[in-house]
């Protein structure tokens, strides 16, 4: 690997954290539809700030301008674009020794670059075909290449971030459809996880050699799966505006331990296109079902990860990782309870999202670094 790859990867990882947390801020401050078009904002690369911009927006867009929200959405897009450039650089570095590696990465990127203006001109079919071809090209390359030089994971990472951009577009054009919002969150976390894996693999002397590595990796793998499910439920809760479905009651919900809940309606993933989901469309009982599912899964995740943290704390050489995981876990639970008790304060809700990312980082780090003695 290129000697500076790990530095670029760590920078991209830090930027991915910023993008995810800032994206949570955008979503939780109800700014997700503050720019009704994509990738521009009311036809501008920035956002409307002057009277002439407002007049143009009123003539050409049905949604009124909210500048105090629009800047959040567009800054988030620019940060995501910068992250995309970093991922492209990593893919080019990793693929440079592969036959046609540079041509493959640049060819796929060019297709995406051409697809964006086509989409802006209303040629949606042509833009979609180009984006799909780019994704297929990258996935085939990732499947064909090995990961000895990290070309596979870097190419897969580029494919993921391109699809993540498409999810960002659909989030706007499909009016905050919950399944797309949830997928966009998971896509951001997949990007973050792949970057963490790549950063550690590219960092010299990163492996943690331990005789108990196989058993620990098994426990950590189960924890990772449980955490991803819980994050998905959290995204579904947020996308359906169900965070306060139980009012400010905890651990009860609406004054009951098991309130009336519509589980079937609460977990319908697809409701067609054209519905504006801003503010949510579900009734109270469906939202209660979503909130209860998130709480119940939180108990499962907490129990398992607490056991993992205790196991790490008792393992020689890994005690500090056990303490880190335990502190993050307890803090995350406290933030979740505070969200309910204090009526979803923006700062606490954003911190809750950041806590999930940090827990994910610890699990991916340990899974990547733990090795059996040779």
Active-site positions read: 73
Residue 362's DSSP bridge partners are: none
176 phi-psi bin (left φ>0, alpha ψ -120 to 50, beta other): left
Q: Element (H or E) spanning 361, and its range?
A: helix 346-369
| Whether the Cβ atoms of residue 333 and residue 302 lie closer than 8 Å to each other | yes
| Whether the Cβ atoms of residue 303 and residue 226 lie closer than 8 Å to each other | no
Quote the tokens at residue 9.
Answer: 């990867």
Q: How far apart are CA 370 and CA 341, in angstroms?
A: 39
Q: How far apart are CA 275 and CA 180, in angstroms?
A: 13
Burial 14-47 (b: 16+ CB within 10 A, else e): ebbbebbbbbbbbbbbbbbbbbbbbbebbebeeb
Rounded to 5 degrees, what angle do the CA atoms 105, 144, 364 make?
80
- Whose tokens are 């003695």? That residue is 373
């Amino acid at each position: 690997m290129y000697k500076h790859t790990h530095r670029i990867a760590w920078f991209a990882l830090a930027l991915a954290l910023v993008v995810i947390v800032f994206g949570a801020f955008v979503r939780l401050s109800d700014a997700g539809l503050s720019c009704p078009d994509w990738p521009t904002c009311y036809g501008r690369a920035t956002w409307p700030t002057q009277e002439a911009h407002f007049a143009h927006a009123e003539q050409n867009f049905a949604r009124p301008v909210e500048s105090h929200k629009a800047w959040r959405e567009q800054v988030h897009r620019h940060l995501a674009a910068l992250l995309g450039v970093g991922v492209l650089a990593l893919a080019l570095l990793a693929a440079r020794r592969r036959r046609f590696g540079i041509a493959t990465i640049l060819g796929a990127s060019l297709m995406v670059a051409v697809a964006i203006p086509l989409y802006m001109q209303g040629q949606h079919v042509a833009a979609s075909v180009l984006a799909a071809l780019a994704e297929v090209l990258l996935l085939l390359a990732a499947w064909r290449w090995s990961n000895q030089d990290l070309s596979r994971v870097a190419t897969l990472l580029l494919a993921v971030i391109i699809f993540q951009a498409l999810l960002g577009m659909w989030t706007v054009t499909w009016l905050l459809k919950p399944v797309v919002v949830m997928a966009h969150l998971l896509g951001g976390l997949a990007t973050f996880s792949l970057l963490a894996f790549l950063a550690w693999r590219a960092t010299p002397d990163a492996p943690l050699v331990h005789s108990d590595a196989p058993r620990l990796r098994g426990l950590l793998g189960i924890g990772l799966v449980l955490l991803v499910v819980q994050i998905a439920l959290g995204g579904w809760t947020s996308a359906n505006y169900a965070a306060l479905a139980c009012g400010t009651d905890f651990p009860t919900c609406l004054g009951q331990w098991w309130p009336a809940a519509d589980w079937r309606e609460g977990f319908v993933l697809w409701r067609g296109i054209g519905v504006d989901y801003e503010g949510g469309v579900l009734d109270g009982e469906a939202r209660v079902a979503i909130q209860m599912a998130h709480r119940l899964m939180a108990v499962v995740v907490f129990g398992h990860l607490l056991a993992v943290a205790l196991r790490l704390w008792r393992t020689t050489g890994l005690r500090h990782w056990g303490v880190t995981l335990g502190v993050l876990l307890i803090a995350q639970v406290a933030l979740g309870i505070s969200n309910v008790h204090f009526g979803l304060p923006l700062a606490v809700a954003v911190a809750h999202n950041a806590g999930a990312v940090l827990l994910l980082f610890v699990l991916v780090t340990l899974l990547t670094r733990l090795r059996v003695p040779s």
